[in-house]
């Protein structure tokens, strides 16, 4: 077994490599068409992405539910606004738990889904069908490309660098096709990601090291998502900021001790207390509000 580096040295190395990776992946098409923001209520809302978009949550009895997440929260708010103005509104959720950027484009999401090919192909069909309508599209993707890199209580650096690069390439493919299919009244909004592995902080010294090392991974992933979104004229809902992902200070009381703010947010707004990376009802509402603030 190779000798372990000090915590500070490992954090510095990871930060440097992830930063270099993110910078190397930030290039996109030079002449991407910008979004056309509108204050009008959309006629259609299309949710795309992975388990977060699908509204996946574990339950205390060991089961799970789907369809109780941020997309449903957004749809409820937009539906109420539409009803108040006596306008029609429809919501379609194509999110598939387990989806990566690769399976989103190529098919093969491991969870049952309603389309015969890929989520991206289904989304393209939807956008072409509603090309003249006001459409809102929300997109979250990329977490499953890198989550495996923090399994077992440690960070696999080569896996993480490759995963971030994969997100850069895959997200570019997804947005290019969505942009081509979208009409002039379609608004696409992406999102960056919170860091569920901050919860490891509560498990002792080794866990605190893992939590610290997970932050530059999240930062590199989110920098890549933001850069690719921007290249395609897509605003990014700052979910990482809403969850205080990069803010260890101030410390706040939780479970009888003082913990970093970002750790507290993860434990309060996700189900990581029982090992589930997905948001709980409170966390999903925070994500929904972050999207809604971009409208």
Note the pLDDT tens digit of each residue in 158-167. 999 999 999 9
Q: What percent of the chain has pLDDT over 70?
A: 86
58-65: Cβ within 8 A, 24+ apart: 58/271, 58/274, 58/276, 58/278, 60/274
pLDDT of residue 157: 87
Query: Residue 137 has which token pair?
Result: 């599209």
Q: What percent of the chain has pLDDT over 90?
A: 82
Q: In this predicted structure, which of 4-13, 70-79, 166-175, 243-252 has the lowest mean pLDDT?
A: 4-13
Under the phi-then-psi rule, with left for phi > 0, alpha for psi from -120 to 50, and beta for the rest, what region is 55? left
C-alpha to C-alpha distance for 241 and 65, rounded to whole angstroms: 26
* Contact status, residue 163 vs residue 192, Cβ threshold 8 Å: no
> Global pTM?
0.88
pLDDT of residue 38: 39
pLDDT of residue 203: 93
Residues 6+ apart with CB under 8 A from 149: 155, 156, 159, 160, 163, 217
CATH class of 35-292: alpha beta
C-alpha to C-alpha distance for 271 and 69, rounded to whole angstroms: 13
Q: Inform me whether the pLDDT recorded for 201 exceeds 90.
A: yes
DSSP assignment of 254-283: ETTEEEEHHHHHHHHHEEGGGTEEEE-HHH
Q: Which pLDDT band, with edges at 50, 70 and 90, does 150 fall under?
A: confident
C-alpha to C-alpha distance for 51 and 66, rounded to whole angstroms: 8
Could you report the per-residue pLDDT of 126-147, keeping only the tens digit for each? 999 999 999 999 999 999 999 8
pLDDT of residue 22: 42
pLDDT of residue 40: 76
Residue-level length of the chain:
295
Could you report the per-residue pLDDT of 236-293, keeping only the tens digit for each? 999 999 999 999 999 999 999 999 999 999 999 999 999 999 999 999 999 999 999 9
Query: Mean pLDDT over all residues of the chain?
Result: 88
Per 3-state DSSP, the chain is made up of helix, strand and coil in percentages (nearest 5) of 50, 15, 35
Where exactly are the structural domains of the chain? 35-292
pLDDT of residue 67: 97
Specify the higher pLDDT residue, 203 or 15.
203
Under the phi-then-psi rule, with left for phi > 0, alpha for psi from -120 to 50, and beta for the rest, what region is 155? beta
pLDDT of residue 24: 44
pLDDT of residue 37: 39
Residue-wise burial string across 211-233, b where 16 or more C-beta atoms lie within 10 A, e elsewhere:
bbbbbbbbbbbbbbbbbbbbbbb
Could you report the per-residue pLDDT of 17-65, keeping only the tens digit for each? 444 444 444 344 433 344 443 357 999 999 999 999 999 999 999 999 9
Classify strands 251-254 and 257-260 as parallel, antiparallel or unpaired: antiparallel
Nearest to 286 by CA among 215, 231, 250, 238: 238
Q: Inform me whether the pLDDT recorded for 87 exceeds 90.
A: yes
């Amino acid at each position: 077994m190779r000798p372990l580096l000090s915590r500070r040295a490992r954090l510095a190395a990871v930060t440097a490599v992830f930063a270099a990776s993110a910078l190397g992946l930030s290039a996109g098409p030079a002449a991407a068409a910008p979004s056309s923001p509108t204050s009008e209520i959309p006629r259609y809302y299309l949710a795309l992405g992975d388990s977060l978009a699908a509204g996946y949550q574990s339950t205390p009895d060991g089961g799970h539910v789907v369809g109780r997440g941020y997309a449903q929260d957004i749809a409820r708010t937009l539906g109420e606004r539409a009803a108040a103005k006596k306008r029609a509104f429809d919501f379609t959720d194509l999110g598939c738990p387990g989806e990566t950027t690769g399976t989103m484009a190529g098919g093969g999401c491991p969870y049952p889904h309603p389309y015969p090919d890929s989520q991206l192909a289904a989304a393209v069909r939807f956008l072409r069908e509603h090309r003249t309508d006001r459409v809102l599209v929300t997109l979250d993707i990329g977490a499953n490309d890198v989550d495996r890199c923090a399994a077992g209580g440690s960070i696999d650096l080569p896996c993480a660098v490759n995963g971030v690069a994969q997100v850069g390439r895959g997200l570019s493919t997804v947005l290019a096709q969505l942009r081509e299919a979208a009409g002039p009244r379609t608004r696409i909004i992406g999102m960056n990601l919170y860091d569920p592995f901050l919860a490891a902080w509560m498990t002792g010294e080794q866990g605190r090291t893992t939590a610290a090392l997970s932050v530059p991974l999240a930062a590199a992933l989110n920098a890549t998502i933001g850069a690719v979104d921007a290249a395609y004229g897509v605003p990014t809902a700052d979910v990482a900021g809403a969850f205080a992902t990069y803010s260890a200070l101030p410390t706040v009381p939780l479970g009888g001790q003082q913990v970093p703010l970002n750790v507290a947010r993860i434990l309060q707004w996700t189900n990581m207390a029982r090992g589930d990376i997905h948001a709980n009802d409170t966390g999903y509402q925070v994500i929904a509000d972050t999207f809604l603030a971009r409208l």
